[in-house]
Amino acid sequence: MTEGFRFKQVLVVRLDLDMGRGKAAVQCAHAAVSAAEEARTHLHNWWKSWIEEGQLKVAVKVPDLDSILDLERKGRSKGIPVHLVKDRGLTQVPPGTITCLGLGPAPSDVVDSLTGNLALL
Amino acid sequence: MTEGFRFKQVLVVRLDLDMGRGKAAVQCAHAAVSAAEEARTHLHNWWKSWIEEGQLKVAVKVPDLDSILDLERKGRSKGIPVHLVKDRGLTQVPPGTITCLGLGPAPSDVVDSLTGNLALL
């Protein structure tokens, strides 16, 4: 259902933190804004194409911190804009907890090679 | 718990659509990126201050479409960056459904005057 989009952004959420719906939504929004800003400033053509296509975003889940950090490393090695969200810890999780990863916007096939096997959030 | 932040962004989600957790997170991410971009291009100093403070975001819920449209009108009348998210309707809701509203980044007291009474998502 997301065929035809040349660029996408994937928001990767840790499931082991048991965040509530609103908390998860805010973490995804942080990841989206910051990874998009990373793209806008360093990979402007990717960002521009993604905006023009309508900003396809997908939220997926991983079981733990190691899974997030592994995806972050792989994303960096492929030259994808990445942003790890560290929560202030005002609610639900301790300060500094890594809650979410933003990957992209980047070419869909590259993002899919990292996250295509993950379940939707 | 969000005292001390001069700027904030509020993501307003319709509760009557019964969106799943991932769907709601993606709608909030759309609203956040687009309302932030509206601020970056038209109210740059607000955007810059909000980024420097760490991008405070809060997700809240409203019962229906009229509540979202009412907040959008009030936001515009106060000069706050606003963005209504219309979903493509690939999953869960019909195409063109308005799912979410991004309000701000803008001065916290102005945003709070519109959304301070709403329950967290």
What was the pLDDT predicted at A44?
Answer: 97
Please answer yes or no on whether B11 and A29 come within 8 Å at the CB atom.
yes
- Alpha-carbon gap, residue A35 to B84, rounded angstroms: 21
Asked if residues A36 and A82 have their Cβ atoms less than 8 Å apart, the reply is no
- Alpha-carbon gap, residue A36 to B33, rounded angstroms: 8
Q: Which of A30-39, B3-12, B34-43 has the lowest mean pLDDT?
A: B3-12
What was the pLDDT predicted at A48?
Answer: 97
Please answer yes or no on whether A21 and B24 come within 8 Å at the CB atom.
yes
Query: At residue B83, does pLDDT exceed 60?
Result: yes
Q: Looking at CA atoms only, how far is residue B73 from chain A in angstroms?
A: 23
Query: At residue B22, does pLDDT exceed 80?
Result: yes
Query: Kind and range of the H or E element at B61?
Result: strand B57-62
Q: Looking at CA atoms only, how far is residue B72 from chain A in angstroms?
A: 19
Please report the DSSP string for B79-99 in residue order. T--EEEEE---SSSS-TT-EE
Q: What is the mean pLDDT of residues B60-64?
A: 98
Kindly report, residue by residue over A37-82, the tens digit of the pLDDT: 999 999 999 999 999 999 999 999 999 999 999 999 999 999 999 9
Shortest CA distance to B104 belongs to which of B57, B63, B53?
B57
Name every chain A residue with its beta carbon within 8 A of the beta carbon of B22.
Answer: 59-61, 120-121
* B91 against B10, higher pLDDT: B10
Enumerate domains of chain A plus CATH numbers: 7-115 (3.40.1490.10)
Please answer yes or no on whether B54 and A28 come within 8 Å at the CB atom.
no
Q: What is the mean pLDDT of residues A101-106?
A: 98
What is this structure's pTM? 0.96
Please answer yes or no on whether A32 and B34 come within 8 Å at the CB atom.
no
Mean pLDDT across chain B: 95
Nearest beta carbon to residue B22 from set A22, A55, A121: A121
